């Protein structure tokens, strides 16, 4: 897999460490090609860090579709006590998780594909009005 999978131009230490660890894992196990086939490409430069406390944080990043202007999945990392765990949530999985991750799909879609998301945002606003 080329470096596009791990491309990150930012300065957030958590994201730098995660991408470095994943790059090493990919060299050993070669997971990135199947990840792209199943979900799409992670967009590290759009990742959001959500602090939980002084020792815990979530890193949430969008995964963009290879063929459409949409976000089919979120890749979520939890960093706690120097241990990082992760989960990939598709929209379908997120809907069944019992937690509200719809904000992530909405946020990243509006940010990355503003031309396709304005009507969906209006629909959601009207739904709650």
Q: How confident is the model at residue 94 (pLDDT cuts 50, 70, 90)?
A: confident
CA-CA distance, 84 to 58, in Å (whole number)? Answer: 10
pLDDT digits (tens, 9 = 90+) for 53-77: 888 899 999 999 988 888 999 999 9
* Lowest-pLDDT choice from 21-25, 71-75, 90-94, 119-123: 119-123
pTM of the model as a whole: 0.83
CA-CA distance, 31 to 23, in Å (whole number)? Answer: 10
For the chain, give every domain's residue range.
Answer: 3-90, 99-128
CA-CA distance, 96 to 11, in Å (whole number)? Answer: 34
CA-CA distance, 117 to 106, in Å (whole number)? Answer: 8
Residue of 54, 40, 39, 48 whose CA lies nearest to 12: 48
pLDDT at 24 over 70: yes
The fraction of the chain above a pLDDT of 70, given in percent, is: 88
């Amino acid at each position: 897999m080329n470096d596009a999978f791990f491309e990150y131009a930012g300065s957030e230490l958590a994201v730098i460490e995660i991408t470095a660890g994943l790059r090493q894992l990919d060299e050993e196990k070669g997971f990135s090609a199947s990840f792209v086939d199943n979900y799409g490409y992670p967009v590290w430069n759009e990742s959001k860090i959500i602090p939980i406390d002084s020792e815990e944080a979530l890193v949430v990043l969008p995964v963009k579709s290879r063929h459409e202007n949409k976000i089919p999945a979120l890749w979520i990392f939890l960093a706690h006590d120097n241990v990082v765990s992760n989960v990939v949530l598709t929209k379908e999985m997120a809907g069944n998780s019992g937690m509200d991750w719809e904000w992530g799909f909405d946020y990243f879609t509006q940010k990355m594909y503003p031309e396709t998301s304005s009507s969906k945002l209006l629909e959601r606003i009207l739904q709650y009005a």
